[in-house]
Structure 1
Amino acid sequence: MLVSLSVRDVMTRDVLTVTPDTAVVNVAERLAATDAGSLVVCAESEPIGIVTRSDLVEVLAAREDPGRTLVVDVMSVDLVTVGPDEPIENAAELLDEHGIGHLPVVETDDEDDEGNGHIVGVVSTTDLSHYLPYLGRTRHALERLRRTPGGPDTAYGDRDWHFEHEGVEDGLTVDDRIHFRKRLSEGDVAAFADATGDTNRVHLDEAFAEQTRFAGRIAHGILTAGLVSAALARLPGLTIYLSQELSFLGPVRIGETVTAVCQVLEDLGGGKFRLSTTVYDEDGDAVIDGEAVVLVDELPADVDAEADVEVEVEAADEREDEN
């Protein structure tokens, strides 16, 4: 980019706002009359949340009465904002990190000791796509920008994923260990819900989740357990699951970084191994425990030593365009 653009340069300045006690049907009417995709929820001019078109869809899908349901019941309260003087690349990263489509732009009053600010605009993925063209290719474009080449047994990696091993260089033996660590983001939870259909409100609805025993939203248990599969995928060779036993010991908060540790307990012969599979939260407490049996096959003889991620990405984009 030859000219550095700020959020102020691209944001929508005509901000639609709504109060928490407004009926959802009124929000739907206002959105239907405009091209806006969201309304910022304000209490005494201070932004406290956001309500989007997708929130309205959830109300209808749950067969709730939009005339009786209030904005406060459906709005996102974990409000993510951006400053007007931030580079647009920073706004794009925030949108991707939190799996959202709109960011209220808040300008802080330098004379306010508490750091409060007032809303001056909204910036969306659509706004940014005009200036960061790669955003328009697919909704996962930003994720792919962080991708790194994989190895002979994985298609790609990510700069935010951390993998370590103890042993395993010359084939698996008892006590070899594999570690895989990543942050479970808002985007991960939203993508998992879409991919599986598991839209349990304890994962997606903060107001609902606060009333449960978890006192807030948590990541899907199977999403967390997926880190075990990610760790096992990095064993040398082609790893094939034969069985997996799991116990769920505690919740994982959205945004928390978790670590899967898999240790070889027994060589069962014929390329089969029994491993312990444990996932730890940021405090080092086990949240998932279990055992797996895997078969480790040899890789195809002509497999590339390093995956060409960009070629795969472009091919995927072309398939999406065709569909």
Structure 2
Amino acid sequence: MSYPIRVADVMSTPVITAAPTETVADAAETFLEEDINSVVIVADDEAVGIATGTDLVRALEREESPRETPLEEVMSAPVAATEPAAELEDALERMHDRGVARLVVVRDDRPVGLVSTDDVIRYAPQVFHRGTLATDAGPTPRYRARETAEYEHADWTCECSTVSPEGLSVGDRVEFSKPISEADVRSFATASGDTNRLHLDERYAGETRFGRRIAHGTLVSGLISAALARLPGVTIYVSQDLAFLAPVDLGERVTAVCEIVGEIGDRKFELTTDVLGADGERVIEGEATVLVDDPPEAATLEIEAIA
């Protein structure tokens, strides 16, 4: 069961509205008082247009009497709209197709919110910094590399797409996979102090929206750290952004997939950091920045090619 990010999760409310007959000067005053940069123009309870700060500036440039210019002469129309239940990905595509930076969120044709690129950046910045994870990409050289991990378990797997003696580079990719066991969940609850009954009490969890116990989200995201730890060198977290898309069941095998998408310099790298469920669908989507130091002299890099 997937729980994608929806427009209702990120939209700004309440909506500040204005009538088509209100003037540019009226709108400018509203912008200042409400600390906003757009108003939805409403007639008969329906959104008929939107006026932004840019629209007002353009009106001031060409009009000598902004106090007499009605908003219906400067507003953008028709409205680019979406619904609260729409998936955020679809809303972003609509913004792109319409060439706008915000959408009016409507329910039964009445405006209930606004969603803009700023709202999305605040909620899930990785949406703008990544492409779709290519889980079905063509075959690439695959290796198992061991250098920094102290030990492994039989039901853990790790693969690297490239291992270069010259160091890490864009396109390098590492995957780490393991099942999330009952013992993992209970140990994590004790270690973290997160003893939420959703994760520990079957009867209680059965009455939640999930209908059963699920693994802690931060426990599942820990596989990202496990994958990064298996890159050549000493990997140090600088930052991590995450969006939790779907729950993970106890006993489910999950796979963290981390790929270098940018090299900042000073041994810093940007990576996409996703976790896939047993069905191959993303349960976590993220982006990280890491610093990678050279390994200590005691480290020995072992590489085993996978046929």
TM-score, normalising length: structure 1: 0.47
Compare CA radii of gyration and give the structure with the larger one. 2
By relative contact order (CA 8 Å, sep 6+), the higher-ranking structure is: 2
